Structure 1
Amino acid sequence: MNNSTGNQGGDCWIAVTDQASRRILVFDSERKDWNSAEALKWSWSPSALNGFSDGPKGWGLPSDVKLRRNTAHGGESMIVCDSYGLAAIVPYPAGNARQWSQTIPGNLHAVELLPDGNIAIAASTGGWVRLYASSQGPDAEKHSHYDLPGAHGVLWDPQENLLWTIGDDWLVPLNVCGTASDPELAEDSDRKIRLPSRWGHDLYPVYGDADKLWVTTNSAVYQYSKSANTFLTNYAGADEINRMHVKGIGNQLSGQVVQTAPREGGLYAWTTDTVRSFSPNETFSVTNGAFYKARIWCAEYQ
């Protein structure tokens, strides 16, 4: 398939974690009909053919995916996790090797790849964030651990050299200490802030504004201002974007915002067959799809 990440001169493609097909699917954001063969640009699931000798072990409910560029892993990689336990780093667009993986209990909900090649993982039921020394080889198990009840999101901030994390009640920045082979996590207690509503969920950059982060909870969608240390609901388009139970959110540099939220009658209570877009207002649907998160397919941290 095409090895690009977007349309020339336009917006990036959009990735979804599809729990119906049990695949990561990447779609052309300029194609309106996502049921068409032309709309699907890339797909992936673990198998013996692409380096995962255990096949789909720990796989079946993909919960997060991101594209990252990293010299430690030789270029662009897809990072991915699944509620059944698989977390992995895979070369993109080849998708044909296992750069790192572990199967870890705890209901994995989010992943992030740090500049040194190590992977951060948030586990909701486990109630923790861990930083694995994945830079040290495909089977590296060494990790640092931080307790965070309801951990749902992790995001690296290259501007402040912090790992932002979100749980049930708190947005917590973590300092990454130690070395690549022996990483450590330390809470930045001065900047830890209680969420304005409970059950934190997604955490993502506001592309085009390095001061802002998208933050979702069970009841609202916020933008968090790092400089003001406050949560905002007066951002552009908030009247439509701000809604309950948003599982995944992101924006294009053009201003388009995409999000996923559960749709009644879906395969699971937490999935939808549709990605909603704002500015412009559009919907992208796949028949019998069961999307958990939508991701702007961009390798940049912010």
Structure 2
Amino acid sequence: MTGRPTRRTALLTALGAGAAAALPAATAHAAGGKPTPPVAVTDQKSRRVLVLDSRLPWESPDAVRWAFSPEGDERYADLEPEASWTYVDEAKARRRRGRTYLLTTASFGFAAVVEVPTGRRYWAGALAGGTDTVNPHSIELLPDGNVAVAGSTGDTIRLYTASQGPASDTYAEYRFSDAHGLQWDNRRRVLWAIGHDELIALRVGGTAAAPTLTRVHTAALPHPEGRSASGHDLSPVVGRPGRLWVTTGYGVFQYDIAGRAFREDYAGAAQISRRSVKAVSDVRGSGRVVTTVPEPGLEKSWWTTTVSAHNPEGAYVLPDGGIYKARWWVPESR
């Protein structure tokens, strides 16, 4: 006897269809005209990146605006995604030369820049295998078309010559302890990176085919006395240019680049700043912020089913999910 499909089954069925569906305009509007973009989440349980409508309950199949997984896609078969796509841990939206891209990584080695909505491979690589573990944790697209990847276990920032082809495996490397987050700064033309105890800026030199990386700025991360900071996430404060969102094991800060100081003077800090925040981003205009923190009692200690919203407070819930990071789906231009 066949019963009625569960909400989870209906949602997963929609995800399969969503991968081929066109993604609507990045920003919709709620009452009052404030922007309410979709939210991109890394759902490690379903092994997909999901772009979900922030205006709808996420248990509804209609909430899925687009989804990506390389598994079963011949364009990514050479990367063996059945293994390398384990624990998807990053999802960012970027815009370059009239095209929108998903930037994504997974802990077992997968890293890619994926055209939306076609799923076409702009660039992709498998950065780990056997005992040579890199653990990709974040990724960034540069204006020249090259791609930077942060490897936390590998203590490395690699700048791949993606401008030279979709499978280019040539890279410049900068060694950086527990590299976790990356963010390109269009104004200052530097690549920001966060690691174990430091926030740094790297200048990109050389050519697109033979790039170099040189450290030009260092800031020690805030941390309790006698403990390491455990730097984690890095993103722009879009509502306050000249600042970066920075998360550590102990709180959420805004780094004032010109003032060279970590600030906690932002709206909603009392609710936003807490331990173990895995991702943070805001929306220009409304000041709305989303964050993720681990939820007790799930299969993995770093998973959550809930994306917290702030300014005002709220939440989005993905039933039976295993979310690691979540970001507003608003493509940054490159």
8 Å contact 1:157–1:301 — kept in the other structure? no
Helix, strand or coil: the match of 1:125? coil
Matches within 5 A, 1:256-275: 256-275=288-307
The residue type paired with residue 16 of structure 1 is V
Which deviations, in whole Å up to 9, do the C-alpha atoms of 1:100-156 show, x marking residues without a partner? 111112111100101111111111110111110011101101111011111000000
Match runs of 1:151-300 below 5 Å: 151-188=179-216, 191-197=217-223, 198-253=229-284, 254-300=286-332
Per the alignment, residue 174 of structure 2 pairs with: 146
Q: Which residue identity does 1:286 align to in structure 2?
A: L
Q: Please point out which of 115, 137, 157 is paired with 1:91.
A: 115
Partner in structure 1 of residue 9 of structure 2? none
Counterpart position of 1:68 = 94
Distance in structure 2 (CA, Å) of the matches to 1:15 and 1:91? 15
Instruction: Note if 1:79 corresponds to 2:111.
Output: no
CA distance in 2, matches of 1:200, 1:286: 26
> Deviations along 1:223-268, whole A, 9 cap, x unmatched?
0000100001121110111100000110112111100000001221
Deviation at 1:11, TM superposition (A): 2.2
What do residues 164-204 of structure 1 show as CA deviations (whole Å, max 9, x unaligned)?
0000000000001111111111001xx21100121000001
Q: Secondary structure at the match of 2:270?
A: helix
Counterpart residue number, 1:12 = 37
Report the CA distance shift for 1:24/1:50 in structure 2 as closer, same or farther (over 3 A).
Answer: farther
* Residues 7 and 28, structure 1, Cα contact 8 Å, conserved in 2: no
Matched position secondary structure for 1:56: helix
Match 1:3 to one of 23, 39, 44: 23
- Rounded Cα–Cα distance in structure 2 between residues aligned with 1:224 and 1:65: 22
Are residues 70 and 177 of structure 1, via their aligned partners in 2, closer, same or farther at CA, if it must alter by over 3 Å?
same
Q: Distance in 2 between matches of 1:165 and 1:49?
A: 31
- Could you tell me which residue of structure 1 aligns to residue 75 of structure 2? 51
CA deviation after TM superposition for structure 1 residue 162, in Å: 0.5
From 49, 54, 62, give the equivalent of 1:38: 62
Q: 1:50 to 1:210 in 2, by over 3 A?
A: farther
Distance 1:245 1:110 in 2: 17
Distance 1:117 1:301 in 2: 12
Q: Structure 2 counterpart of 1:120, which letter?
A: A
| In 1: Cα distance, 2:301 partner to 2:143 partner | 35
Aligned residues with identical type, % of pairs: 40
CA distance in 2, matches of 1:79, 1:91: 9
SS at match of 2:163: helix
How far apart, CA to CA, are the structure 2 residues paired with 1:199 and 1:301? Answer: 29
Whole-angstrom CA distance in 2 between matches of 1:272 and 1:75: 31
Q: How do 1:106-117 and structure 2 match up within 5 A?
A: 106-117=134-145
Structure 2 residue identity aligned to 1:216: T
Alpha-carbon RMSD: 1.4
TM-score (norm 1): 0.95
Where 1:52 maps in the other structure, the secondary structure is: helix
Between the aligned partners of 2:310 and 2:144, the Cα distance in structure 1 is 35
Counterpart of 2:64, as a letter, is: L
Distance 1:238 1:208 in 2: 14
Q: Structure 1 residue 301: deviation in Å?
A: 5.7
Contact 2:81 2:110 in 1 (8 A): no
Range that drifts further, 174-183 or 54-63? 54-63
Which SS does the other structure have where 2:154 is aligned?
Answer: coil
* Paired residues of 2:249 and 2:277 also in contact (CA < 8 A): yes
Instruction: Look up the match of 2:46.
Output: 21
SS in 1 for 2:82: coil
TM-score after normalising by structure 2: 0.86
Q: Structure 1: any 5+ residue segments left out of the alignment? A: none
Whether the 8 Å CA contact 2:197–2:231 is kept in 1: the answer is: yes
Q: Which runs of 5+ in 2 are unaligned?
A: 1-20, 129-133, 224-228
2:90 maps to a residue whose letter is D
Superposed displacement of residue 208, structure 1: 2.1
- Say which one has the larger Rg: 2
